[in-house]
Amino acid sequence: MTEPVDSDPDREPVGKPTSVSRITLSHIMTAGDTNLLGSVHGGVIMKLVDDAAGAVAGRHSGGPAVTASMDEMAFLEPVRIGDLVHVRAQVNWTGRSSMEVGVRVLAERWNESSPAQQVGSAYLVFAAVDEHGKPRPVPPVIPETERDKRRYQEAQIRRTHRLARRRAIKELRERRAAEGLDDA
């Protein structure tokens, strides 16, 4: 359950440790989840990733949060029907109103007793929003372990690259528009 949205924008948000909002979402893959090759469709995994990350973002920010972007979704191994899939998600980094959520996808093969194997990963950015859908401040995440601290630092690198890429593309489009080049 999520807490009510904090309606006082001037109040300094209190930090929250990473472990407070970390979750694992588990799901058994069924015949309805397959692609033409008979393994699990990537979109099914992406939905689970977005669901788990959304739950984490909502818990961390104490209210509604929307997916702003999903990047570096990697599929490392095929997932099969009957596999028990675990989607582990945590807040890696927080900005003013956005959070990067890191997700690891693991699968336990239904017919093997071997440990769960990592089959995918992704990084998503969520924006916490108020009742009008406008961004609202989020509590700073407090990384607890060395692994959390490394993930925080790596998330900062991704954030810098995302902003730089967006800026460069925007500038290119503005330049082309100013030159009268129309590719619509």
Ligand X SMILES: CC(C)(COP(=O)(O)OP(=O)(O)OC[C@H]1O[C@@H](n2cnc3c(N)ncnc32)[C@H](O)[C@@H]1OP(=O)(O)O)[C@@H](O)C(=O)NCCC(=O)NCCS
Per CB under 6 A, contacts with ligand X among 64-103 are: 66-69, 95-98
Find how far residue 115's CA is from the centre of its chain: 24
Look up residue 22 and give its amino acid: R
Helix/strand/coil percent split, the chain, to 5: 35, 30, 35
The beta strand positions in the chain, using DSSP E, are 16-17, 23-28, 65-75, 84-94, 98-108, 117-128, 141-142
Closest distance to ligand X from the beta carbon of 176 (Å) = 21
User: From CA 145, how far away is CA 151, in angstroms rounded?
Assistant: 10
Residues in 137-176 that interact with ligand X by CB under 6 A: 162
Count how many residues are written for the chain.
Answer: 184
Q: For strand 141-142 and strand 16-17, is the pairing parallel, antiparallel, or unpaired?
A: parallel
Residue whose CB is less far from ligand X, 68 or 84? 68
The nearest distance, CB 99 to ligand X, in angstroms, is: 8
Of 106 and 127, the one with the shorter C-beta distance to ligand X is 127
Footprint (CB under 6 A) of ligand X, residues 113-142: 125, 127, 129, 133, 135
Which CB, 68 or 81, lies closer to ligand X?
68
Two structure tokens written together for 163: 């902003």
**Interface characters, 16-55, with ligand X (x: CB under 6 A):** ----------------------------------------
For residue 20, which amino acid is it?
Answer: V
Min dist. Cβ of residue 76 to ligand X (A): 24
What minimum distance in Å lies between the beta carbon of 127 and ligand X?
Answer: 4
Rg (the chain; Cα; Å): 19
Q: How many CA atoms lie within 13 A of 143 on its CB side?
A: 18
Provide, rounded to whole angstroms, the least separation between the CB of residue 51 and ligand X: 12
Instruction: Please give the residue ranges that form the binding site for ligand X (CB under 6 A).
Output: 66-69, 95-98, 125, 127, 129, 133, 135, 162
